[in-house]
Amino acid sequence: NAMLVFPFFAWGSSMPALKLVQPHIPYPMLLGALRLLPAGVLLVAWAAATGRKHPSTREAWAWIALFALVDGAAFQGFLAEGLTKTSAGLGSVIIDSQPLSVALLASLLFGERLGPKGALGLVLGVVGLLLVELPDGALAAM
């Protein structure tokens, strides 16, 4: 079913698209912001059109602003910055390794147990990332 495949295609095509646009945008952080701006405008328009409630307190808006700054601006900006130093394929692998970081931090900060299978998966994932990220010939030089 094409509807099931489309989100994966759209997400997967974002790194090559960023890499294509990047030479034409003077600042990578600006590229990160421009990437999210259309989605933000569409989301606000959709919320208004469907009568969705919006946050009514300053505290709620402060949390939304903090989330937008960290998850939106910083994440997307640093992603765009990182793509200036690597290929779209490797950048995609690195950014999609986020679950490894989450599992490790959840274990260290919140005491969540990984269990033997989870720990093995985490180790294999980190080793896999290291192998993918090593420059050509690095293993032979060791």
Model pTM?
Answer: 0.68
Summarised one tens digit per residue, pLDDT across range 30-77 is 887 788 888 888 988 999 899 988 888 999 999 988 988 888 778 888
Helical packing angle, 88-95 and 75-82, nearest 10°: 140
Contact between 22 and 84 under an 8 Å Cβ cutoff? The reply is: yes
Summarised one tens digit per residue, pLDDT across range 77-92 is 888 888 888 888 888 8
Closest C-alpha to 71, from 36, 106, 41: 36
